[in-house]
């Protein structure tokens, strides 16, 4: 798809910024931001981009105003190069879905490009070895847009088939109990030794990583907040050790059934 931003006509780029540090952004994301007239997003994501924003009009918006932000981005994109940014991947609990829905509804004829980013599941997994080597599921514990009973059904379904489950939005002030609820569901199907990784601010300067088990997770529950991604291993997952040191989690893909190593 030819990009609006290269021809300097109007158009909209929906950009995933990755988990935090600049070096984890894609060259494509950097390029469309460099070419944009307007950059729109949450202050949390825009502030670290500051050196890239000189000479651009920056629109900082707050959480909960996503529909207005999408509409504004579309209006501006009719005549300007606009980049609307989300942390991680813009299509994973980010702005891409709502922007495309509003665009479809508005009937505006503008060029649009979705630019992928490293999502929190991949960022967190990379800090604890290889916990997501095969099939896995991603579930958000935020019940702002999805009813809690639906979230619980999804947790049950995924834990019951024994694949690793990555929890986004595990806890916030508004819903402190959803995380313990998710752990209760996991315990119905998985043993106490099942490894659990708690990764806070993955690939950001104040990163924290904890490796524990389903049995021990209560002791470190305070480390879980809205900047955290939690990986609950599946039936095959195990703690990865080097000597005495716990390094992370491995979920074998099954090579050991076929090869000797
Ligand atoms: N679009 C984002 C997800 C937004 S939902 C992405 O693709 O990553 C917000 C949730 O993402 C947070 O509550 C947290 O669970 C997770 N998250 C985002 N960035 C993170 C990071 N650097 N470290 C750990 N978790 C992160």
pLDDT at 165 over 50: yes
Kindly report, residue by residue over 227-259, the tens digit of the pLDDT.
999 999 999 999 999 999 999 999 999 778 878
The verdict on 169 and 61 lying in the same domain is: no
- Over residues 51-59, the mean pLDDT reads 95
CA 37/CA 45 separation, integer angstroms? 17
Could you tell which of 227, 230, 231, 232 is best to mutate to test the pocket of ligand 1, judged by most ligand atoms within 8 Å of the CB? 227
Report whether 191 contacts 229 (CB < 8 A).
no
The verdict on 107 and 129 lying in the same domain is: no
The verdict on 139 and 45 lying in the same domain is: no
Report whether 47 contacts 123 (CB < 8 A).
no
The verdict on 92 and 216 lying in the same domain is: no
Q: What is the DSSP letter of 48?
A: G
**If you average pLDDT over every residue of the chain, what do you get?**
93
pLDDT value at position 174?
80
The verdict on 166 and 47 lying in the same domain is: no
pLDDT at 26 over 90: yes
Report whether 77 contacts 110 (CB < 8 A).
yes
CA 130/CA 236 separation, integer angstroms? 12
pLDDT at 8 over 70: no
Biggest alpha carbon distance in the chain? 61
pLDDT value at position 155?
98
User: Quick check: CB of 19 below 6 Å from ligand 1?
Assistant: yes
The verdict on 172 and 185 lying in the same domain is: yes
Last residue of a domain, one of 118, 141, 164: 118
pLDDT at 1 over 70: no
User: Quick check: CB of 199 below 6 Å from ligand 1?
Assistant: yes
Report whether 128 contacts 231 (CB < 8 A).
yes
Q: Which has more confidence, 10 or 121?
A: 121
Last residue of a domain, one of 99, 118, 137: 118
Report whether 236 contacts 117 (CB < 8 A).
no
CA 249/CA 230 separation, integer angstroms? 12
The verdict on 148 and 65 lying in the same domain is: no
Atom of ligand 1 nearest to the CA of 90: 1
The verdict on 111 and 136 lying in the same domain is: no
User: Quick check: CB of 142 below 6 Å from ligand 1?
Assistant: no
> What is the whole-number distance in angstroms between the Cα of residue 227 and the centre of ligand 1?
6
Return the CATH number at 29: 3.40.1010.10
Which band of pLDDT confidence, cut at 50, 70 and 90, is reported for residue 175? confident
- Over residues 28-32, the mean pLDDT reads 97
Q: Which helix (H) or strand (E) holds 250?
A: strand 245-250
Pairing mode of beta strands 195-200, 208-213: antiparallel
CA 6/CA 96 separation, integer angstroms? 20
Q: What residue numbers bound the domain in which 80 lies? A: 4-118
Distance of CA 88 to the CA centre of its chain: 5
Could you tell which of 86, 132, 168 is best to mutate to test the pocket of ligand 1, judged by most ligand atoms within 8 Å of the CB? 168
The verdict on 144 and 193 lying in the same domain is: yes
> What is the whole-number distance in angstroms between the Cα of residue 167 and the centre of ligand 1?
9
Q: Which helix (H) or strand (E) holds 123?
A: helix 120-126
User: Quick check: CB of 86 below 6 Å from ligand 1?
Assistant: yes
Task: List CB contacts of 157: < 8 A, sequence separation 6 or more.
Answer: none
The verdict on 125 and 239 lying in the same domain is: yes
Report whether 209 contacts 231 (CB < 8 A).
no
The count of C-alpha atoms lying within 13 angstroms of the C-alpha of 100, restricted to the half-sphere facing its C-beta, is 12
> What is the whole-number distance in angstroms between the Cα of residue 141 and the centre of ligand 1?
12
Query: DSSP letters of 134-162?
Result: S--EEEE---SSS-HHHHHHHHHHHHHTT
The verdict on 35 and 77 lying in the same domain is: yes
- Over residues 68-72, the mean pLDDT reads 94
Return the CATH number at 225: 3.30.950.10
The verdict on 129 and 243 lying in the same domain is: yes
Name the residue with the closest Cα to ligand 1, atom 4. 93
User: Quick check: CB of 133 below 6 Å from ligand 1?
Assistant: no
Last residue of a domain, one of 61, 89, 118: 118
Q: Looking at the 3D structure of the chain, how many domains does it have?
A: 2
Which band of pLDDT confidence, cut at 50, 70 and 90, is reported for residue 110? very high
């Amino acid at each position: 798809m030819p990009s609006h931003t290269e021809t300097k006509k109007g158009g909209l780029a929906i950009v995933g910024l990755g988990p935090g540090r600049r070096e984890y952004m894609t060259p494509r994301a950097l390029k469309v931001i460099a070419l944009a007239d307007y950059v729109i997003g949450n202050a949390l994501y825009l502030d670290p981009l500051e050196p890239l924003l000189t000479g651009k009009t920056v629109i900082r918006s707050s959480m909960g105003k996503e529909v207005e932000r999408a509409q504004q981005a579309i209006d501006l994109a009719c005549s300007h190069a606009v980049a609307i940014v989300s942390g991680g991947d813009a299509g994973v609990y980010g702005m891409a879905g709502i922007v495309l829905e509003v665009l479809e509804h508005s009937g505006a004829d503008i060029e649009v490009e979705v630019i992928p980013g490293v999502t929190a599941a991949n960022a967190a997994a990379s800090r604890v070895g290889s916990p997501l080597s095969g099939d896995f599921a991603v579930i958000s514990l935020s019940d702002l847009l999805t009813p809690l009973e639906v979230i619980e059904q999804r947790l049950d379904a995924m834990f019951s088939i024994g694949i690793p489950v990555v929890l986004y939005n595990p806890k916030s002030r508004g819903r402190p109990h959803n995380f313990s609820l998710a752990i209760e569901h996991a315990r119905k199907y998985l043993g106490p030794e099942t490894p659990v990784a708690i990764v806070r601010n993955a690939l950001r300067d104040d990163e924290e990583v904890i490796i524990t088990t389903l049995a021990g997770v209560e002791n470190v529950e305070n480390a879980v907040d809205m900047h955290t991604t939690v990986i609950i291993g599946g039936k095959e997952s195990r703690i990865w050790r080097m000597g005495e040191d716990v390094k992370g989690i491995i979920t074998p893909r099954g090579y050991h059934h076929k090869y000797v190593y």
